[in-house]
Chains A and B, each alone.
Chain A
Amino acid sequence: MWVLDSAYRSGGVDLWGKEGSGRVQRVHHEYNPPFFFCLPDPDAYHEMTEALEEAYRAEPCTFATIFGECEGFRVFAGRPVAEAIEQQTGFAAQLFNVDVRRDQRFMAEEGIIPCSTEMRTRFSPEIPHNLEIMEIRIAGDPSLSRTCTEISVVHGRTERLFGDEREVLSDLFSLVSAYDPDVVLMAHADRWMTILQEKGRRAGFTLPFSRNGKYRTMGSRSYWSYGRVEHKNAALIPDGRILIDTEESFVYNEGGLGGVLMAARLSGLSPSLASRLTPGTLISSYETYEAVRRGIAVPFRKSDAEALRKLASLRTGDRGGMMFQPEPGIFEDVDEIDFTSMYPSIIVRANLSPETIADPETAERGFLPIALEPLLNMRIAIKQQKKTDPSVAGIDAILKWMLVTCFGYTGYKNAKFGRIEVHEAITARSREILLQAKAAADEMGFTVLHGNVDCLWVQGPRAPALQERITRQSGLLTEVEHLDWIVFLPQNDGSGAYTRYYGRHPDGSVKVRGIAARRHDTPEYIRKMQAEMFAVMGRAGSIAELEGVWDDVHRIYRDAAARLPSAPVQEMVISRRISRLKYAHRCIEGAAVVAYRQRGTDIAPGMKIRYVVRDARTYQVDPAGDAENFDIPYYRQLLEKAWKEVAYAFTAGREPGNRPFICPDYGQVATGP
């Protein structure tokens, strides 16, 4: 059975599967799994264990954890009983498998994976399916307006519904019931679904998205992730169908439908749920599925803190990846050597796992390396395949993100299989590896221009030879990218920026990092200007040839500056994820939050807002949908800043032979040092 949805219902697990014939059926499996617990001193709690045996079929047992076997109990009861045991034992009890999703646990125990018919295909990039897909496009932004008077339904052909809201909804619901799609793609689905349900109820219609009339709910929340606040909307997930919020789903936006299906297959969760999770939660779910599949109990709480250490030792160990600071300027014939999935590769090769960290070299293979290795191998294979088969790009993206976050999860407070010492061991090894790579480059006569955690930029004659040596001495896979020229930008104090650069590939494409064109909050007008400039600069295969395109590039800036006052206001929209609702000092972002609230829109930290600055001096800002004009001087400043990032390639670069660049509009002659 090709599982497209799963849910825990009525004391068991419902699996919705699609057969080869196209028929979708629901199979219910009775399932009442136990949780486990063990005690440091069981005799002290014998009354409690006896009571549990009587009331909940509790039985003594031995169960496996990643640290080895535990003598304890299995209890056929739910979370409230587990929490009561915690309280009664003064939190001395260690509990397991309390909060593992039961549908996921069932599938792991039975060797079933979503979006496939066989376990052996779990790590295959192929996801053949015969899913019927429908796309629903409701006009408008549900955070600003709840009206549904214009909807397009795409299913083979496009049907436009517009007019009286009641009729439009009636037609929409009829189409969904008639076509009965397996997948519904809808921008802002998580906001629209509750609106549609409410409007449908008032009109006397039943929401048609669930195949059995039942829905699962997810609450909304704001949370910290990688140093910023994110927000998850509440969701109404229909049973028996895949519903993807194409606007909000990170997995869908990075990997498309293929990415969602792969995320589900790997995590053991339904595609609807997988599409709503962050890469961090996906990798954590993957680890949970792997643990259950191997009969390893999943801890409920994280109660084992890091081991005792001296302050001096912590000072030394508490560091991130190695970074070298580049000299700002422009450089020719540069090779970028990247370690493929460096941190997960270190976990696997160095056998780093909470239970092996004391002595990874001699310990038996740990849980994390065993669990991550097939994922890593899959990523390496797909990355290669992507070069000739672009159809796997979506899956590659999801794998990349899951592996990137698996490192973070080793140090994350809620990670079931995380431990800070593992996190620190990974970064310590990564620093050594990058330093060794730099030493190899130095010895082989290369100039190391820059290094950043898992990447080195070098100038020298024999990149393949250096790559071969680095791969051999580190044991990690590497890739080399040649750049005909690369610009490292300066910071405000003149020293080199670590993560702001751009460079030209031999095929003419320009790789860009950290500048306006890559920033999420850059207005479209400015992004387009930089993109146009890079398209021109991509024609230049050397610093000398760049000189030749200066006029064209500068013209693009002058034209953009001249046209700015008459530019469409929608191209001035700034999109930002807000981190808070109250601001200590007046600022543009704070004014935008106020503008949204005055409009009556519900916002929470982590949400993305879109706004146009009407008057920066007096902090007047309009939500994107309401904006009619914009502060020209303010946007001119942004435009100029973006221009300077590009102009730097011509005005302050280093160049062999110290030939000057004469830039009339800048009134300066720049030469090399």
Chain B
Amino acid sequence: MGRSFASIRQGVKGLSEHWARVPHALRPEDRAPAEHLVAITKRHSSAAFFGCDDPLEAAVFSSLVEIARHHEKITRDGEEAPGVGP
């Protein structure tokens, strides 16, 4: 006995590995933020699995949480921070 759908966590990991190929194809100034985005997609996949129904949803949610955190930090600190995400 087991589960019929692939695990969200594994799916996010796979998606992240898939996206990891993209930064190389970007312009140099876009590479670092893209690599950072790849890193933050997985950050909340464990918790996201609870409410999200598929890996893409969990990856997007995870990324948006990190972006929201960073935005909150900027607002709180009142200063510009480089790149995207904390």
Contacts and interface: CB of A to CB of B under 8 A. Distances in A.
The answer on direct contact between A and B (beta carbons under 8 Å) is yes
Interface of A: 227, 312, 314-316, 318-320, 322-325, 408, 411-413, 420, 423, 431, 435, 493, 495, 498
Interface string B3-14: 111011100000
Given A312-B53, A315-B5, A325-B46, 15 more contacts: A227-B2, A315-B54, A316-B53, A319-B3, A320-B3, A320-B7, A322-B50, A323-B46, A323-B49, A324-B46, A324-B47, A325-B47, A423-B1, A431-B50, A498-B46
A318 B1 contact: no
Interface of B: 1-5, 7-9, 42-43, 45-47, 49-50, 53-54
Contacts of B9: 323
A319 B49 contact: yes
A318 B46 contact: no
Query: Which of B42, B43, B46, B50 neighbours the largest number of chain A CB atoms within 10 Å of its CB?
Result: B46
A323 to B, nearest CB: 5
A431 to B, nearest CB: 6
- List 8 A-B pairs, minimum CB-CB distance, nearest first: A411-B1, A325-B46, A315-B53, A412-B1, A318-B5, A318-B3, A318-B4, A323-B46
Contacts of B46: 323-325, 498
Contacts of A314: 4-5
Contacts of B1: 408, 411-413, 420, 423
Contacts of B45: 325
A314 B4 CA distance: 9
Contacts of A315: 5, 53-54
Nearest to B42: A495
Contacts of B3: 318-320
A44 B3 CA distance: 40
Nearest to A435: B50
A315 B49 CA distance: 11
Contacts of A319: 3, 8, 49
A322 B53 CA distance: 14
Contacts of A435: 50
A493 B10 CA distance: 13
A324 B46 CA distance: 6
A543 to B, nearest CB: 25
A283 to B, nearest CB: 14
Nearest to B47: A324
A80 to B, nearest CB: 30
Contacts of B8: 319
21 contacts: A227-B2, A312-B53, A315-B5, A315-B53, A315-B54, A316-B53, A318-B4, A318-B5, A319-B3, A319-B49, A320-B7, A322-B50, A324-B46, A325-B46, A408-B1, A412-B1, A413-B1, A423-B1, A431-B50, A435-B50, A498-B46
Contacts of A413: 1
A591 B54 CA distance: 39
Nearest to A326: B46
A412 B43 CA distance: 33
Contacts of B5: 314-315, 318
Nearest to A408: B1
A467 to B, nearest CB: 23
A412 B53 CA distance: 24
A300 B5 CA distance: 29
A301 to B, nearest CB: 17
A599 to B, nearest CB: 35
A320 B3 CA distance: 8
Nearest to A322: B50
Nearest to A420: B1
B16 to A, nearest CB: 8
A322 B9 CA distance: 11
Contacts of A423: 1
Contacts of A408: 1
Nearest to B6: A318
Contacts of B49: 319, 323
A420 B3 CA distance: 10
Contacts of A322: 50
Nearest to A325: B46
Contacts of A324: 46-47
Nearest to B45: A325
A347 B52 CA distance: 26
Nearest to B20: A493
A412 B1 CA distance: 5
A322 B47 CA distance: 8
B10 to A, nearest CB: 12
Contacts of B7: 320
B69 to A, nearest CB: 15
Contacts of A498: 46
A278 to B, nearest CB: 14
B17 to A, nearest CB: 9
A386 to B, nearest CB: 30
Contacts of A316: 53
Contacts of B4: 314, 318
Contacts of A323: 9, 46, 49
A376 B49 CA distance: 30
Nearest to A413: B1
A421 to B, nearest CB: 13
Contacts of B54: 315
Query: Which of A318, A411, A498 neighbours the largest number of chain B CB atoms within 10 Å of its CB?
Result: A318
Nearest to B3: A318
A23 to B, nearest CB: 46
A325 B54 CA distance: 18
A322 B48 CA distance: 10
Contacts of B42: 493, 495
Query: Which of A227, A493, A498 neighbours the largest number of chain B CB atoms within 10 Å of its CB?
Result: A493
